[in-house]
Copies of this chain bind each other. A is one copy, B any other.
Amino acid sequence: MIERNNQNQDPWWPRYADRMDGMQASEIRELLKIIDQPGVISFAGGIPDPELFPRDAARQAYEAVLSDPVSASKALQYSVSEGDSDLRAWIVDHMAMQGVACSINNILVTSGSQQGLEFLGKTFISPGDTVLVNAPTYLGALQAFACNQPIYDALATKATNRTAASYRETALSRGSKVSFSYVVPDFANPTGETLTLEERHRELGLVHDLNIPLVEDNPYGQIRFEGDPLPALLALECQRVGSINNSQVIYCGSFSKVFTPGLRVGWVCASKEIIQRLCLIKQASDLNSPAINQRVMHWLAEREFGNQIAKTKASYGAKRDAMLAALEKYMPIDVDWTHPQGGMFIWLTLPESKDAGQLLDRSLKEVGVAFVPGQAFYADKSGKNKVRLSYSLPTVDTIEEGITKLAGLLKAP
């Protein structure tokens, strides 16, 4: 089931462990290096708008942490692997507002939610295991899991004929077992779509039938422009099983999309046993996340969270509106797209005959517009006619200009 790649010209290749076989460079990150040029309108990188970063507040926060000698000494020293206890207490309150009752023993601070994903893959995925992910799914999660050598099955969100038994049988037919599942429930990367309440309950039922963990990755949930918030999967699970300490859902949160990704602060919220386990992994991986950044993030979260959410929603909401309006106005009739109620992404479906990779080449060359071809987000590399557009970084004006140009290309023979 696991085959050794005959990869690249690296003379070290024969000496690497087999787990290196599946690890490849992120197409997006490689792409970003190429398109990061003046004049290109980029809908590619799913990164926040630096205009929204709390720059002055961050200055004040670092100054506040470092100007007091006792606080500074702590901020510049090694610290506990679990994370700063004030920050964890803030996260406990934040989770409570999402309907999750927990204590700081249910929280581990990680270096962004990416690190949470990597730790969870390491904890649960044995080589050859089947992992359930949506098709498409977040590319970074596929990368985080890769060195554990999983195989994938496509986790359905809509009602289908896929049951726990069908996932089990499919795995068995490939000599595998289902051990792990992963979803982005709110404004998913790359589609911008959100699971309905019914779909959330269905996912929970499934992972209970399969007796596997469900990782809920929620970096965008706070950035909702319209519609009512839906309960986190972890909140529904806590209702279902009575306590977070019985939960099969493991929640990954992040300050990257709302505050700043530069401090690399995220968290995992889960049963205390899983947090203890992840804490051991944290210790072995990098001892602890930078204490100073955790102190600063706590300072920012306490004072600026509400403002920052409001600012981010207003900005990305207007940009989404601009992109949807431009798509509506300029795109040919045979192109379809999602209507996200929050987050940073719109997902285009081109006619079956179109290849988004080829379109990107032409688009960069002829009109200077960048996006990410959808294929990158499929574990099975399907989705040739899909396109991920991010509206977080460009201005409203460049969004209209870029969509006009992209639509022109698609209309051209």
Contacts and interface: CB of A to CB of B under 8 A. Distances in A.
A284 B66 contact: no
B79 A262 contact: yes
A320 B110 CA distance: 36
Interface string A20-64: 100111100100010000000000010110100101001100110
Contacts of A109: none
A190 to B, nearest CB: 17
A212 interface: yes
B76 A277 contact: no
A144 B284 contact: yes
Contact of A17 (B69, B124, B260): B124
Contact of A263 (B76, B212, B271): B76
A285 interface: yes
A183 interface: no
B77 A261 contact: yes
Interface in A265-302: 271, 273-274, 276-277, 280-281, 283-293
A199 interface: no
Nearest to A48: B77
A123 interface: yes
Contact of A18 (B50, B118, B126): B126
A77 B264 contact: no
A281 B55 contact: no
Nearest to A56: B66
A90 interface: no
Contact of A287 (B74, B112, B280): B112
A15 B124 contact: yes
B284 A285 contact: no
A123 B10 CA distance: 13
Nearest to A287: B114
B20 A277 contact: yes
B288 A264 contact: yes
A19 interface: yes
A78 to B, nearest CB: 5
Interface in A55-109: 55, 58-59, 62-63, 66-67, 69, 72-81
Interface string A120-133: 00111110010000
Nearest to A29: B283
A15 B212 contact: yes
Q: Among A212, A274, A280, find the residue whose CB has the most chain B CB atoms closer than 10 A.
A: A280
A263 B264 CA distance: 12
A127 B121 CA distance: 17
A326 B284 CA distance: 35
Given A63-B63, A273-B12, A72 B47 contact: no
Contact of A262 (B48, B55, B78, B111): B78
Q: Among A48, A50, A256, find the residue whose CB has the most chain B CB atoms closer than 10 A.
A: A50
Given A76-B263, A213-B15, A264-B286, A29 B293 contact: no
5 contacts: A12-B271, A29-B283, A76-B261, A114-B284, A144-B285
Given A10-B277, A45-B78, A143-B284, 10 more contacts: A10-B273, A17-B126, A17-B179, A23-B277, A55-B66, A55-B72, A262-B292, A264-B286, A264-B290, A290-B290
